[in-house]
Structure 1
Amino acid sequence: MININDFINNFSSFNSNTYLLPWEIITNLDDLIKEKFDYLSDEYTIDGDIAVHKTAIIEQNVIMKGRIIIGENSFIGANAYLRGPIVIGKHVKIGPGSEIKQSIISDETAVAHFNYIGNSIIGSRINFEAGSICANHYNERKDKEISVLFNNQLIKTQTTKFGSLIGDDSRIGANAVLSPGTILQKESIVKRLELIEQMKIES
């Protein structure tokens, strides 16, 4: 069983149900975030479905759609595109031109410019260099259901949209691609231009 707390410290503060698998959390993320809205302090400015901490900086031409929470002292660079549901933690940096879709970005993580992160759970203190991608869909396969390989066990997610689970303190190099269903332990290093395919399934 994949326990997200083994990958991301203090993840239980976001979701205490340790039985939920990563892709189940992503699938139900909108409902999970909706519950959080009821407990946000007056330090957040709430406009419809978007809650932004008053210390966060949002640069020009940022597009935000869907339910989104942006935490304390976080920074969203110009022309970024946030497609909720999304949770962005404290002291997070999202670079110019990056796109985040249906994901959780934990505290002190930096996402450089022109990155794509889709349907993923990202730990704390992770650095994404420019142009790196967390892919969330197998466009090239006839059977698009995503499976993951964890501890030599094949797990079917029963979903066609899931990106990555990345453990704390990992480093993702420039223009690297993480294929759908990527699971990275804490302190993982992905080299520049590297393609991560933890498993291959014949279509």
Structure 2
Amino acid sequence: MINISDFIENFSTFNSNTRLQPWEIINNLDDFLQEKFSNLGEDYIISGDTAIHKTAVVEQNVILKGRIIAGENTVIGANAYLRGPVYIGKNVKIGPGSEVKQSIIFNETAVAHFNYIGNSIIGNGINFEAGSICANHYNERRNKEISILFNGKAVRTGSVKFGSLVGDNSRIGANAVLSPGTILGKESIVKRLELIEQLPLENN
């Protein structure tokens, strides 16, 4: 069993049930955000399913689709595309042209330009260099169920859409690819152009 608090120090501020597995959190993210919407204060500007903190900056041509919460001092760069449900913490930077889909991004994290983060949980103080990708789906496999490699064992998720769990203070290099089901501990370093692969389930 993965304890998300071992990867993200303040995860309990998002959800107190740390026994939930990462893919369970992501698969039910819209429900969690719907509950959070009802507790947001006057510091947020709410329009439909979108809640943006008054101190956040949303640059030109940003597309916000679905349920989204963006926290204080967040900057969402020009031409970014957020496909909810998406939760963004405090002091987060989403670079120009980046896409975030059905994900959680915690505080002080920077996502450079032209990145893709899909169905992932991203911790605090993380830096994604330009062009890096958290892939969320195995297009090339016959059996598309995603498995993760954790403590030397393959664990089935029962999901065909799950990206990565990235621990606090990690660094992801330019044009690196995190394969679906990637689990990175705190202070992990992924080199530029590196591929983090996961073991396939049998009969893939």
- Normalised by the shorter chain, which TM-score bucket? over 0.9
Q: Which residue of 2 aligns with 1:193?
A: 193
Q: Which residue of 1 aligns with 2:20?
A: 20
Alignment of 1:1-203 (within 5 A): 1-201=1-201, 203=204
Counterpart of 1:199 in structure 2: which amino acid? L
Contact 2:147 2:198 in 1 (8 A): no
Query: Which sections of structure 1, spanning at least 5 residues, go unmatched?
Result: none
Task: Count the aligned residue pairs.
Answer: 203
Q: Deviations over 1:113-148 (max 9, x none)?
A: 000000000000000000000000000000000000
Displacement of 1:4 after TM fit? 0.4
Identity of aligned residues (%): 75
Structure 1 SS opposite 2:31: helix
Displacement of 1:33 after TM fit? 0.3
Counterpart of 1:47 in structure 2: which amino acid? S
Counterpart of 1:184 in structure 2: which amino acid? L
Q: Deviations over 1:102-122 (max 9, x none)?
A: 000000000000000000000
> Within 2, Cα distance between the matches of 1:18 and 1:120?
16
Structure 1 SS opposite 2:34: helix
> Within 1, Cα distance between the matches of 2:133 and 2:17?
28
> Within 1, Cα distance between the matches of 2:153 and 2:108?
32
Query: Which sections of structure 2, spanning at least 5 residues, go unmatched?
Result: none
4+ residue segments displaced more than 2 Å:
198-202
- TM-score w.r.t. the length of structure 2 is 0.98
Q: Deviations over 1:21-64 (max 9, x none)?
A: 00000000000000001111100000000000000000000000
> Within 2, Cα distance between the matches of 1:200 and 1:30?
28
> Within 2, Cα distance between the matches of 1:92 and 1:196?
24
> Within 1, Cα distance between the matches of 2:53 and 2:184?
29
Contact 2:176 2:193 in 1 (8 A): yes
